[in-house]
Amino acid sequence: MTPDNQVPALRVVGLSKTFGTKTVLRDVDLEVRKGETVVVIGASGSGKTTLLRCVSHLEIPDTGLVDVDGRSVGRVAIPGGWKDASERQLAIQRRGIGFVFQRFNLFPHLTALDNVAIGLRRVRGIAKKAARERAAEHLRKVFLTDHLDKRPAELSGGQQQRVAIARAIAMEPTIILFDEPTSALDPELVREVLDAIRVLAAGGMTSVIVTHEMSFARQVANRVIYMDEGAIVEQGTPVDLFGSPREPRTRRFLEHFTTPDAKAAP
Amino acid sequence: MSIDWTIIETAIPLLARGTVVTLQISVVAGILACMIGFTLGLAALSNIAALRWIVAAYVDFVRGTPLLIQVFLVFFALPVIGIRFDEIWAGIIALAFNTSAYIAETVRGGVGSVERGQTEAAKSIGMFRWQILTYILLPQALRPMVPPLTNELISMTKNTSLLSVISVYELTRAGQAIISVHFVPFEIYLLLALYYYALIKALSYLSRFIESRMPAL
């Protein structure tokens, strides 16, 4: 799988998370190669979102290790072992992980351009003018060339989500996590967002995408993972997983998506 | 009951002098209170537990004791340990510290009420806590903070009348001086009420103007 000379973009070992008495992640292992697009599917409550949030340590996992590009996230080496990363260390480690939220979470007081530029300026320390130029380039990659000076409230949901994607890619992270990026969108706006992700994926972006858009998963994924009850039940190429799922649970889940498009072979 | 109009004519310019002092005290104490209040409010949001504890204790003390006692503490008690202010500065300092505690709570609450997703988005691009506070949360919290801040400053302006007890020649004291000579409480207290009312009205118009000029989100 992984060539010996290449460190995986993401390596997750034994990730578990419990909220109160509810276990939402059970001992999840996951490896993502550089350039790979991994799509995670599963019913709501299956732990997909928590998986992404624990990887980025927006949620601190109970147990398990997360490495991004060979570097630990959530812990730091000390003589004779490891200790939990401080908030400050975590902020630095997180720079290797981009995150696109279901509800966009753009900064409402900043223009589209500054939403993308602020990370470049404040986190990467790039001068204002250069940061804005670079931000404009990243916005172009998600097909936003107009509206750069508009506030999020003046943009459609699809435009907002594309700004959010540009904000993530602008930081040039090793991997980008997409948490149901189209679930909060009106149906007619879904396509423009998926198209943007598709183009970025084709351009070599490494990503883990949680989505309910099965035909998109089929087209864009190198690998599809089916999760249920906090665990990875089955994974494989889109052809295998959608065409001939081995696990009964996977088959039952996929039967919910009975549109002709989802049934057709890719 | 007849109104003594000649005393009103005499009182108006005298009270105007008191008004100027009340305004001066309010402006200086207000600015100090905002500076201290914002600093304390941000300290209350820091991840240093000791700092949060100190602010909490301070706010608790200020809220739990009467302003009049705080004024006396600054004017009569501090000189005992060698810290001496004249009555105007003692008044300004007591008012500023009193109001700053309420402003600190407003700042803490305002920043805390910004949606959680904003902090997460800022974390996701690798910002430090102080950067999230400075560049993301505080700018969004400012506008909704204007009305409660105005309330604090209005209360403070009205509370300047308490300083009459330590002989600060502000509006209330100026009125009392006239009453003590001419014994006309009805006319003078009515006038005082009008003067304060006009001051407070001006302050709330100013606040609404500032709020309207701040960018909506």
pLDDT tens per residue, range B120-155 = 999 999 999 999 999 999 999 998 999 999 999 999
Q: A164 to chain B: which residues are within 8 Å by CB? A: 121
Mean pLDDT within A198-224: 95
What integer is the mean pLDDT of A229-247? 95
CA dist list (Å): B141 to A151, B104, B117:
17, 13, 14
User: Do the Cβ atoms of A7 and A70 come closer than 8 Å?
Assistant: yes
Q: Is B217 on the interface with A (CB under 8 A)?
A: yes
Q: Give the mean pLDDT of B186-204.
A: 94
What average pLDDT does range B155-165 have in this prediction? Answer: 96
Interchain CB distance below 8 Å, A87 and B140: no
Average pLDDT on B187-213 reads 93
Q: Could you give the dihedral angle defined by the CA atoms of residues B85, B88, B93 and B94, in that order, rounded to the nearest 10 degrees?
A: 100
> Tell me, what CATH number does B157's domain have?
1.10.3720.10
Q: What is the pLDDT of residue A165?
A: 98
Q: What pLDDT, on the 0 to 100 scale, is given for residue A261?
A: 53
Arithmetic mean of pLDDT, B56-82: 95
**Contact between A119 and B47 using a beta-carbon 8 Å cutoff:** no
Count of the separate structural domains present in chain B: 1
How many CB pairs (< 8 A) connect A and B? 68
* CB contact (8 A) between residue A94 and residue B121: no
Q: Choose the closest CB to B125 out of A87, A108, A171.
A: A171
Contacts of A106 in chain B (CB under 8 A): 121
Q: Do the Cβ atoms of A95 and B126 come within 8 Å?
A: yes
Q: For the purposes of burial, counting CB atoms within 10 Å of the CB of B195, is it exposed (0-12), middle (13-18) or buried (19 or more)?
A: buried
Residue B100 has which token pair?
């700053």
- What are residue B216's phi and psi, to 5 degrees? -75, 155
Q: Is B155 on the interface with A (CB under 8 A)?
A: no
Beta strand segments in chain A, E: 10-19, 22-32, 37-41, 63-68, 71-73, 75-78, 81-84, 97-100, 175-179, 207-210, 223-228, 231-236
* Whether A118 and B118 lie within 8 Å, measured CB to CB: no
Q: What is the ipTM of this complex?
A: 0.91
Give Cα separations from A252 to A42, A230, A234, A244, B205 (angstroms).
Answer: 11, 17, 13, 12, 64
Q: Give yes or no for B48 touching A (CB within 8 A).
A: no
Quick one: pLDDT at residue B2?
A: 80
A161 CA to chain B: closest CA distance, Å?
A: 12
Q: Which of A58, A108, A123 sits opposite B125 (nearest CB)?
A: A123
What is the rounded average pLDDT for all residues in chain B? 93
CA of B213, closest CA in chain A: separation in Å? 14
Query: In the predicted model, is pLDDT for residue A5 greater than 90?
Result: no
Is the CB of residue A28 less than 8 Å from the CB of residue A64? yes
Contact B47 A87 (CB under 8 A): yes
Rounded-to-integer distance, Cα A173 and Cα A196, Å: 17
Mean pLDDT is lowest, of A65-79, B53-67, B122-136, B202-216, for: B202-216
Tokens (6 digits) for B170: 């502000």
Nearest-Cα distance to chain B for A27, in Å, is 24
Answer whether B120 touches A (CB < 8 Å).
yes
The average pLDDT across A72-97 equals 94
- Owning domain of residue B46: 5-213
Tens-place pLDDT, residues A152-200: 999 999 999 999 999 999 999 999 999 999 999 999 999 999 999 999 9
pLDDT, mean of residues B183-209:
93
Query: Does the pLDDT of residue A264 top 80, yes or no?
Result: no
With beta carbons under 8 A apart, name residues in chain B contacting A58.
120, 123-124
In angstroms, the CA A153 to CA B202 distance is: 33
Residue with tokens 């598709």: A198
**Res. A265: pLDDT tops 60:** no
Task: Identify the CA nearest to A161 among candidates A203, A202, A195, A128.
Answer: A195
Three-class DSSP labels, B20-66:
HHHHHHHHHHHHHHHHHHHHHHHHCCCCCHHHHHHHHHHHHHHHHCC
The pLDDT > 70 percentage for chain A reads: 95
B63 has pLDDT over 60: yes
**pLDDT band of B1, cuts 50, 70, 90:** low
* d(CA B98, nearest CA chain A) in Å: 32
Is residue A263 over pLDDT 50?
A: no
pLDDT tier at B204 (50, 70, 90 boundaries)? very high
For residue A226, give the 3-state DSSP assignment: strand
